[in-house]
């Protein structure tokens, strides 16, 4: 994207190398393609300006100039591999706060308390953090992160979206692997899915659905989505049934639904769609149809 930022913002100042310090009155941004830095006075940047600037550029914050600077340079700016590491594998946990002005210092403290001491926290923008978690220290699973999200949202009145990355060797390929995950996360957020927790396992059906040929998407719409329009919750019921391992008792408990009602709804779905819900082929169709339904609903908003 080629913008004449100087014409839009009179205070625009270009830097060939990274500025050595931040200014309280200015935003500093980094352009990954040209590897250039620039600053703009905060007085000239409206909330809307700030939102589109952070879409195309990375905002520099104080953390970029402190201990986490080496990691930031490594994963964003083709910098050297951090030296004197006590671990050889790590994952990147991406955390985005939906709120415009989250309580940053309090949130940092809460995150530090949740993770082990050697976990590295990087504040990328005013509402985005990265956590570099060593594999040797990792003890947290999906349920732990969901509990963390719920706790922070309740304590600080913020909304969180978190992406749990995979563990990778810390080598020259590490930044590329992180950027790939960052792009996947960004695509899911762009689709306006309301999930607070993401990982490759959860986003895989979403990304794959986007790549399906039009003819297959049309078939799913005609054979499953359109026939179910009169009962929109039926597809979610079957999807939850699969998520509960085809367990009637667990599904009825999760949906707060009587077993007989659940059995009736499963039979009704099978009758309408002609999909055998008790085999893997049926599960695949249902999952793709459920994500396609979400796409269509988002497109209508």
User: 267-296 pLDDT, tens per residue?
Assistant: 999 899 888 888 888 888 888 888 787 776
C-alpha to C-alpha distance for 87 and 97, rounded to whole angstroms: 29
C-alpha to C-alpha distance for 295 and 125, rounded to whole angstroms: 28
pLDDT value of residue 63: 43
C-alpha to C-alpha distance for 71 and 277, rounded to whole angstroms: 47
CA distances from residue 19 to 23, 119, 169, 194, 273 in whole angstroms, order as listed:
10, 26, 30, 37, 61
pLDDT value of residue 102: 78
Domains of the chain: 5-60 (no CATH), 81-206 (3.30.70.270), 212-299 (1.10.10.2840)
pLDDT value of residue 7: 85
pLDDT value of residue 72: 86
* Residue-wise DSSP of 146-166: HHHHHHHHHHH---EEEEEPP
pLDDT value of residue 299: 54
* Residue-wise DSSP of 256-274: T--HHHHHHHHHHHHHHH-
Instruction: List the chain residues with pLDDT less than 70.
Output: 1-3, 17-24, 61-67, 100, 191-194, 296-301
Encoded tokens for 278? 């008790």
pLDDT value of residue 18: 66
pTM for the whole thing? 0.67
Closest CA to 238 of 190, 160, 293: 293
The separation between CA 239 and the C-alpha centre of its own chain, rounded to angstroms, equals 22
pLDDT value of residue 162: 94
């Amino acid at each position: 994207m080629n913008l004449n930022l100087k014409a839009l913002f009179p205070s625009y100042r270009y830097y060939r190398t990274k500025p050595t310090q931040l200014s309280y009155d200015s935003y500093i941004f980094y352009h990954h393609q040209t590897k250039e830095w620039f600053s703009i006075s905060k007085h000239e940047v409206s909330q809307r300006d700030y939102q589109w600037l952070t879409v195309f550029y990375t905002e520099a914050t104080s953390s970029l100039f402190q201990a986490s600077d080496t990691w930031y340079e490594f994963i964003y700016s083709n910098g050297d591999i951090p030296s004197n590491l006590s671990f050889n594998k790590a994952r990147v946990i991406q955390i985005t706060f939906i709120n415009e002005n989250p309580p940053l210092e309090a949130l940092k403290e809460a995150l530090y308390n949740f993770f082990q001491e050697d976990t590295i926290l990087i504040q990328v923008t005013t509402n985005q953090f990265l956590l570099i978690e060593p594999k040797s220290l990792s003890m947290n699973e999906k349920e732990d992160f969901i509990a963390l999200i719920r706790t922070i949202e309740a304590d600080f009145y913020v909304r969180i979206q978190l992406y749990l990355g995979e563990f990778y060797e810390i080598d020259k390929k590490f930044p590329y692997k992180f950027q790939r995950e960052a792009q996947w996360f960004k695509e899911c957020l762009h689709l306006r899915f309301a999930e607070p927790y993401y990982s490759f396992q959860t986003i895989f059906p979403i990304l794959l659905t986007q790549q399906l040929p039009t003819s297959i998407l049309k078939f799913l719409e005609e054979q499953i989505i359109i026939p179910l329009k009169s009962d929109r919750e039926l597809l979610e019921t079957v999807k939850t049934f699969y998520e509960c391992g085809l367990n009637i008792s667990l599904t009825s408990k999760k949906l707060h639904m009587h077993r007989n009602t659940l059995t009736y709804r499963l039979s009704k779905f099978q009758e309408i769609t002609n999909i055998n819900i008790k085999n893997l082929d049926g599960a695949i169709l249902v999952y793709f149809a459920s994500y396609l339904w979400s796409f269509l609903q988002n497109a209508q908003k």
